[in-house]
Structure 1
Amino acid sequence: MFDILTVCTGNICRSPLAEQLLRDRLADLAPHVSSAGTRGLPAAPMTPEAAHIAVALGVPESETVEHRSRFLTEQHLVSPDLILAMTRVHRRAIAELAPSRLRSTFTIREFARIAAVVPESEIKAAADAADYPSEKLRAAASVIASYRGLVPQPEDPEDDDVIDPYRQPWETYLLSARQLEPAVTAVAATVRTALT
């Protein structure tokens, strides 16, 4: 088994959507995917808009209904092999809680951007040197992290963030999903490269 954590602010829009999409797209690999919020509300459901988008993208409705938010703590950062923040602010909050996890922590769009230029052979070689799925994913994340200083930064740093749609119009939810979904697809592909 391997463990992925997604993180946003309230844990009711972006991070649960990312969690559910990743779980759905990696289901055959039996992942453990969870989410939390840096200012998570206690046991709040997903917003109806985020839940609607999740279902439209193939997530079973039962998963969206079952989601309850939780507040990110240091304990949540111990076991994940890959930690995916929705923005640079969330990534910073994670680094402050658990500095030792920085090589496993990315914004989800940053991970996708960097993974796109890392040779698949390097990811496979690092993963093949490990024995268990969790070790393989950590090794792949470490390779991708090693390219941080080599890959050009986006012209607009906000291009590494997923916009927060909470209490915004439906169009903002759609924009947020358009930013998030391709990054989820890229993460899932990289995980498959490492594990299969």
Structure 2
Amino acid sequence: MPDFSILTVCSGNIIRSPLTELILRSELDRSDVFSISSAGTFAGDGDLMTPEAAEIALALGLDPSAHRARYLVEPYIESADLILALSRAHRREIVQLVPRKVNVTFTLREFARLAALISDDEVTRTIEPLSTTRERLVAIVKLVTTRRGAAGQIEIPADDDVVDPYRRGAEMYSESLSQLSPAASDSAKLLRQATKNPSIGARILH
């Protein structure tokens, strides 16, 4: 049974959230530790990724063939330890459904941005006293939450969103990926660091 569950959420669960799911699964690469899934706020259950999104996944060396869209329901939110929404609107919908999950619900770009404010030493001090991987991951998410204050504010709130390219052509798919992929990678780096043994001085963030 994996220690830590991550849920990614967009609208139709056919472009942004499944691409994020696939990238995180590839970069975290620890099925014994991480359970990673996705859902959509108005998804059609069983829908495939769009051909454009599937093509992007394949170009990244990821396999989109197993993906089937899921409509977001409360149990998916309840069971998640970290929820990464692809826009502020999705984040609001998630928190409206399950208000108690507000502290573990971020937009993907928000989580990556706040994670960048955390130093390696802070991560090490946070996880060093903790004995289990789950405890460390939960503590790291709490640490990211503390950066939501004044220091974590941005001038343009929309910069925490990933643009929706649905039916908007190749250029918009490219723009969406350029926002999504780095944020997923940066988020994965911080989460990976929490799974390392701090006593051996492992460092992931730079």
Give the TM-score category using the shorter length. Answer: over 0.9
| 1:125-140 superposed matches below 5 A | 125-140=125-140
Partner of 1:65: helix, strand, or coil?
A: coil
How many residues are aligned here? Answer: 193
1:46 and 2:49 matched: yes
* Equivalent position of 2:200 in the other structure: none
Q: Please tell me whether the aligned partners of residues 10 and 37 of structure 1 are also in contact (alpha carbons under 8 angstroms).
A: yes
CA RMSD between the two structures? 1.4
Write out per-residue CA displacement over residues 59-96 of structure 1, whole angstroms, 9 at most, x where no aligned residue. 1x3xx011000011110012222110000001111111
**Aligned match of 1:21 in 17, 20, 23?**
23
- Structure 2 counterpart of 1:36, which letter? A
Residue deviations 1:72-128, cap 9 Å, x none? 111001222211000000111111111111111110000111110112222333233
Q: Which residue of structure 2 aligns with residue 90 of structure 1?
A: 90
Distance 1:140 1:79, change over 3 A: same
Query: More displaced, 27-36 or 177-186?
Result: 27-36
Q: Is the 8 A contact 1:3 1:134 kept in 2?
A: no
1:99-178 to 2 correspondences below 5 Å: 99-178=99-178
Distance change >3 Å, CA 29–CA 120, structure 1 → 2 = farther
The Cα of 1:152 is off from its aligned counterpart by: 4.2
Residue segments in structure 2 that go unaligned for 5+ positions in a row:
197-206
Q: Which amino acid aligns with 1:151?
A: A
**TM value normalised by structure 2:** 0.89
Distance 1:194 1:150, change over 3 A: farther
Aligned identity (percent) is 46
Q: 1:8 is matched with which residue?
A: 10
Bigger shift: residues 95-104 or 124-133? 124-133
Aligned: 1:80 with 2:80: yes
Partner Cα separation in structure 2 for residue 7 and residue 128 of structure 1: 31
Output the amino acid matched with 1:21: I
User: Which blocks of at least 5 consecutive residues in structure 1 are unaligned?
Assistant: none
Distance 1:21 1:99 in 2: 27
